[in-house]
Structure 1
Amino acid sequence: MYGDIFDGHARKKARAAPKVAAERELVVEDAATGFCGAVVGFDRGYDGEFVKLADARGTVRLFAMREAAFLIDGRPVTLMRPKAAPAGSIRSASGSTRVEGLRAKVAKSSRIWVEGVHDAALVERVWGHDLRVEGVVVEHLEGLDNLGERLAEFAPGPGRRVGVLVDHLVTGSKETQLTTGLGPHVLVTGHPYIDVWQAVRPAALGIAAWPEIPRGEDWKTGICRRLGWGAPQDGWRRVYNAVNSFRDLQAPLIGAVERLIDFVTEPEP
C-alpha cells in the first residue's frame, strides 16, 4: 500500500510524480497505452529497468519504469523496484511485513463492507493481519440491496468513511446502479467476477478454468455440479482452503481491497 503519497498539489509549480514501490500484485495503468495490470515481475535491459504487468485475462506485457509513466487511481506515479525485505523478516498473507507481538488496537470509526460471508472470510484470510494493524473492521452487508439502508444508519462523514467491496462491478450491472452517487466519504471498488469464488485463481484449486454457468442457473450450485464438488458448502471449503496468500487471488480483487484499505486509513485532508 502507498499510504498518503498523493497529499498536496502543485498549483504554482510542477512537482515530480511520487515514487511508489512496485510490490508484487500492485495494480497500475500504463499512462501511454492504457494497459492496466498487476505487477508480476521485473526485467533489466541495456536501456533501463522494466516492469511486467499482467491484466485480468492473464496477458503479460513489459513496460519501461520511466518517471510518471504509470497511473494509480488516475494519478501519475513513478514505479521503483521494491527494497529487499530485511533478513529474517516475515511476510503476511497479503505480502506486507508481519508485525510481531501485535496488540489489539482500538477500531477506527471507518469500516469496510463486503457483500457476504464468503467475501469477508477471504478478505480476513489474506488481509486479516493488515486490518488488525490498522484497526479496521470488516462487516458483511448480507446482500448489496441493504447498502442504502446501512449507509443511512451509519451516516458516513469526515473521519467516518465506508469502503464497499462489490462482486460483479461491471458497466450496466445492477451492482453498478446501486453504488453510484454515494458521496465523498464512501468508496466503492469491486471485481468483474460473478461471485468472489471466481476471484480465486483456478490454478490454486487445481482446475484449468472456472466453468461457464448459464444465466438463470444458481452459480455456486452449477459450479459444484460441473466440478464434482458436491453441495455449495463443500465447494466453499475447497475454495477457502485453496487460498493461502494474495498469490492465490486474481489481480482485480487484490487491487480493489488494497484501495479500500488505503481509503479508510488515510488521514483526512
Structure 2
Amino acid sequence: MEIFETKKTLQDYLERQREMGKKIGFAPTMGALHKGHLSLYEAARKENDLTVSSIFVNPTQFNNVSDLEKYPRDINRDLYFLDESGLVDAVYGPQVAELYPEKLQSKSYDFGGLETAMEGKFRPGHFDGVGTVVEELLSQVKPDNAYFGEKDYQQLAIIRKMSNQLNLPVKIHGVKIYREENGLAMSSRNERLSSGQRDAAKIIHETLVKVNDWFKIITVPEIYQRVKDIFEDQPGMVMEYFEIADEETLQETDFFYKGHDYRAFLVVFVGEVRLIDNMHLD
C-alpha cells in the first residue's frame, strides 16, 4: 500500500497508473476508520483496478471548535487498518495546505435547498465545508468512480448535486449502510457508547424498520406521533429530529405521493453521543 502526503507525489503516482489503463476508485474519509469504511473499498474494488483512500479531518465542516479538537485522530492505526484489509492500493494523508493552499475557508455553494434540510438546520455552513473539501479531493485524485456511505445520505445527495453542477468527470456511488449485529449503523461515534448504551441504541434501527411497515398502512402524522412516543419512553435518549423526506429533493413530506421515493431520517442523542440513521421506504 502506497502512502502520499503531497498532491504532487499522489498525482505523479496516479498518472502512471492511468497510463497503464487502470480505472481508479476513490473514497475519502476523516479517519477513525471502521468496517463501515471498508464496505466503501469493497465496492470500489469490484468496479476499479486501483482503490484510493484519503484521510483528512476537514476543519471547515465543523461548526463547533470543541468538536474539531475532540475528533479522534490516529493515523498510524488507520493506515495499519487499511493495509491489513488488503482493499486499498494508495492512501492520501494531506496536511491542510495541500487542500487549502490560500486560506482555510469554505466556498459558497447553491445546492438547490438540499443543504437547508435536516442537518442543515442544526449545522449551518457544514455542507459548504463538505462541498469544498470533496470538490478539491476529487479534482486532485481525478477518480473514475467515488464512493460515499448512505448513512450520511444528505451528504451523498449534496455531493451528487455538486458533481452534476460542476460537470465533474466522476461517477458518484452510494454504498448501503453497514450495520452492527444489533442493527446499529456503524460509526466511529459508537465507540463512545457504553456496552449498555450500545445495546439500547438498537432501538434506532428497529424504529426505522417499523416506520417502513407503517408507511404502507397509516398516515405520515400518525407515523411521526408513534416515533415520538417511542423515544419519549427511552431512558437516556433524546430524539433530535425525525423526518420523512423525498429522496431526490430531501424536502419533508406530509403525504405519500405516487411516483416519488421516500426515506426516513432519524437523529438521536444516546447520552452525549449523537447518532444518525436513515432508511429507504419500500
TM (norm. structure 1) is 0.32
| Higher relative helix content | 2
Output the TM-score relative to the length of structure 2: 0.31
